[in-house]
């Protein structure tokens, strides 16, 4: 069932709750692929009812980012959700979520601001305010859908860590379920933004997963020093790549690691032309 308004969703969820059914929420920005579908599948398996939100959230895009050209494929998304057993596809308009245009500015909208220690690094350093927009919209979705479980991909690992922190700090009665990264056979992590890549760009994009897999292989051989682990990575990069970061951080609190251990995540972001790609791997 495709619903566009908050009131309709609330009504339906109220019915479910009266019947004692559990509700899973999978927040997305649409242009659904097998990565999203793995989250959806998990929710459909675990919960009595599943809501998938499809909303390109304007307040998590920074000036100059791809808000206008972000792929929007609602008809196709709806079909995929129906085939996967989703009960509600919630696709609100920007004005349904932010009724007053001026609300898009944080002078007028109540924002949920995650802690600086979590946002002043990795993607947060390059996308200032991005995680404020994410936490705000996810809070709104939690309040609208009131799910028992919410499913997020490890593909956006910093986001996942920040959302878990938000849920804990604000005592939100939702269990966050992390879901593993789905990759193409080539190793490339699935992403809606892969649609921007030409054939040649896609070959260049393999650098991300190659670097991460190589680091993990070296770690497994016993190399723990981050400097030593990073050195080999640069051999995968060429003039087509603009590296934003390659960092080793704690899986729970994002603290930097000088010596890698089993609780370390390696994070990478790079640009190929205008396209910004991210990936990460757990060393455990
Ligand atoms: P997005 O539509 O990009 O905001 O993503 C919606 C959700 O799908 C987020 O929780 C992402 O982490 C997750 N996701 C996106 N790509 C993948 C992937 N390749 N594997 C697993 N989860 C993913």
User: Which helix (H) or strand (E) segment is 223 a member of?
Assistant: none
Dist. CA 186 → ligand 1 center (Å): 18
Written as six digits, the tokens of 7 are 């009131």
DSSP assignment letter at 102 = G
Q: Which of helix, strand or coil describes residue 6?
A: helix
Q: Which of helix, strand or coil describes residue 199?
A: helix
pLDDT for residue 106: 73
pLDDT for residue 102: 67
The residue nearest atom 18 of ligand 1, judged by CA position, is 35
The best mutation among 26, 34, 35, 192 to test binding of ligand 1, ranked by most ligand atoms within 8 Å of the C-beta, falls on 35
The residue nearest atom 5 of ligand 1, judged by CA position, is 28
How many residues does the structure list for the chain?
284
Q: For the chain, percent helix, then strand, then coil, each to nearest 5?
A: 45, 20, 35
List the strands of the sheet with 241-250, edge to edge. Answer: 241-250, 264-272, 275-282
CA atoms within 13 A on the CB side of 237: 19
Distance CA(59)–CA(111), nearest Å, equals 10
Distance CA(207)–CA(241), nearest Å, equals 9
pLDDT in tens, the chain (284 residues): 999 999 999 999 999 999 999 999 999 999 999 999 999 999 999 999 999 999 999 999 999 999 999 999 999 999 999 999 999 999 999 999 999 866 677 778 899 999 999 999 999 999 999 999 999 999 999 999 999 999 999 999 999 999 999 999 999 999 999 999 999 999 999 999 999 999 999 999 999 999 999 999 999 999 999 999 999 899 999 999 999 999 999 999 999 999 999 999 999 999 999 999 999 999 99
Is 36 known to be catalytic?
yes
Which of 4, 33, 36, 241 does the annotation list as catalytic?
36
DSSP string, 119-148: HSSHHHHHSTTHHHHHHHHHHHHHHHH--S
pTM for the complete prediction?
Answer: 0.97
The best mutation among 24, 25, 27, 28 to test binding of ligand 1, ranked by most ligand atoms within 8 Å of the C-beta, falls on 28
Distance CA(49)–CA(16), nearest Å, equals 8
Distance CA(234)–CA(253), nearest Å, equals 26
Establish whether residue 182 lines the binding site of ligand 1, counting it when its CB lies within 6 angstroms of any ligand atom: yes
- Report which of 190, 192, 130 is spatially closest to residue 155, judged by C-alpha positions: 190
The residue nearest atom 14 of ligand 1, judged by CA position, is 153
pLDDT for residue 104: 73
Distance CA(243)–CA(276), nearest Å, equals 10
The residue nearest atom 17 of ligand 1, judged by CA position, is 35
pLDDT for residue 103: 66
**Which is the closest atom of ligand 1 to the Cα of 182?**
20
């Amino acid at each position: 069932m495709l619903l566009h308004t908050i009131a309709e969703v609330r009504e339906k969820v109220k019915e479910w709750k009266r019947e004692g059914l559990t509700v899973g929420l999978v927040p997305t920005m649409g242009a659904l692929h097998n990565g999203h579908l793995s989250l959806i599948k998990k929710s459909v398996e675990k919960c009595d009812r599943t809501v998938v939100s499809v909303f390109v959230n304007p307040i998590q895009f920074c000036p100059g980012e791809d808000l206008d050209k972000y792929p929007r494929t609602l008809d196709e998304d709806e079909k995929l959700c129906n085939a996967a057993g989703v009960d509600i596809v919630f696709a609100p308009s920007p004005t349904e979520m932010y009724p007053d245009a001026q609300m898009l500015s944080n002078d007028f909208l109540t924002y949920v601001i995650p802690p600086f220690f979590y946002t002043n690094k990795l993607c947060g350093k390059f996308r200032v305010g991005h995680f404020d927009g994410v936490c705000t919209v996810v809070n709104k979705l939690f309040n609208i859908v009131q799910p028992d479980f919410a499913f997020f991909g490890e593909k956006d690992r910093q986001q996942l860590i920040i959302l878990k922190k938000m849920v804990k700090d604000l005592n939100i009665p939702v269990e966050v379920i992390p879901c593993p990264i789905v990759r193409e056979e080539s190793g490339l992590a699935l992403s809606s933004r892969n649609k921007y890549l030409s054939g040649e760009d896609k070959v260049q994009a393999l650098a991300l997963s190659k670097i991460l897999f190589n680091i993990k292989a070296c770690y497994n051989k016993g190399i723990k020093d981050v400097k030593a682990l990073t050195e080999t990575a640069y051999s995968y990069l060429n003039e087509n790549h603009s590296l934003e970061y390659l960092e080793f951080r704690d899986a729970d609190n994002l603290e930097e690691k000088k010596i890698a251990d089993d609780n370390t995540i390696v994070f990478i972001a790079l640009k190929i032309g205008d396209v910004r790609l991210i990936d990460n791997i757990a060393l455990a």
